[in-house]
Amino acid sequence: MNETKEQKSCTMKCIPKEERPYEKCLARGAASLSDAELLAVILRTGSRGESALELSRKILSLQGREKGLLGIYHMSISDLMGIKGLGKVKAVQLKCLAELSVRIAKAQASPSLSFTNPETIAAYYMEELRHLEQEVLLLLMLNSKSRLIRDMVISIGTVRAALISPREIFIQALRHQAVSVILLHNHPSGVPEPSREDLQLTRRVRQAGTLIGVELLDHIIIGDRQAVSLRELGLWDEP
């Protein structure tokens, strides 16, 4: 027997009350919810003829650079608004949710963060950088006690020694009275293996820092849930 359109598009009322995402969360906790159910609680309502749960499943099934929850991170507000049933308010909610997840990850990594330990630095910046589709170079500026004064984006795009001047880096370092600096950038490929350009940049910045008295402590490359420290790899000196 063929289902009618109305039967196929079941609203939340069709679902037993104890299995509806909101009630299920109250009874069993948020961990008991599927990804689609969690999104449905955030969205609260669906669209005409489509429940919030159905809308959530549609969002998670979209094919893009990433599928599922990571797909939301890579979509813009305009992209999300292009999905039938998602207006501006819901699109903003989803983007804020994605950003909140990044900030929660940084907050979790913060207590163990030490700027003399590259593993903890990588953990702190991992969620912020590993999803990016372009290379972003961060400059971390530290005081005499190896505490962070400020971090800032120095370059967006391919990290090449020819395109990034040590002068730009040390103008900022001196402006903020930094005693030492750390470079940090991502590889969108997910593989943090240093390139020839990465090594060239590191050596140029290290040499310039030695001349003006601001030490380059490390250059850390972030991949997908993995990272490398050029200092730990021993790639400081000229070949």
Distance CA 226, CA 239 (A): 26
pLDDT per residue of the chain (239 residues) written in tens, 0 to 9: 343 444 344 555 667 666 788 888 999 999 999 999 999 898 888 877 788 888 888 888 886 666 788 888 888 899 899 988 889 999 999 999 888 988 888 888 888 899 999 999 999 999 889 888 889 999 999 999 999 999 999 988 765 543 578 888 999 999 999 999 999 999 999 999 999 889 989 999 999 999 999 999 999 999 999 999 999 998 776 55
Q: Where in the chain is the domain with CATH 3.40.140.10?
A: 115-233
Concatenated DSSP letters of 33-73: S-HHHHHHHHH---BTTB-HHHHHHHHHH--SSS-THHHHH
DSSP helix/strand/coil, 164: coil
Distance CA 58, CA 68 (A): 10
pTM for this one?
A: 0.73
Indicate the fold that domain 115-233 takes in CATH. Answer: Cytidine Deaminase; domain 2 (3.40.140)
Distance CA 174, CA 211 (A): 13
